[in-house]
Amino acid sequence: MYAIVRTGGKQYQVTSGDQLRVEKLNGNVGDTIELNDVLLVAGDGNVTIGQPLVQNAKVIATIAEQGRAKKVIIFKKKRRKGYRLKNGHRQSYTALKIQEISA
């Protein structure tokens, strides 16, 4: 059984036991999170597609890790003008371990 969930402006295909990184969610490591934006649930030969969401469907996950990704360097330059700008960015993320999918 798998589901497609929406969180942080992105969509993810998840099955029970998966671990995935999503945009930062509030909570501590070990907390249980309920993802209610379920767009599709499939398994056992039948597929349920939401319009836009599947009614009474939810995905239960636990927070495995709260962290920050590797640094991305942003460098801007304009030729012949002496303009150079160097910045870095580290995106925060939450690692989720999928426990259960209920339709």
pTM of the model: 0.87
Mean per-residue pLDDT for 13-40? 96
Query: Tens digit of pLDDT for each residue in 58-70?
Result: 999 999 999 999 9
Q: How confident is the model at residue 103, as a pLDDT?
A: 82
Alpha carbon distance 99, 19 (integer Å): 9
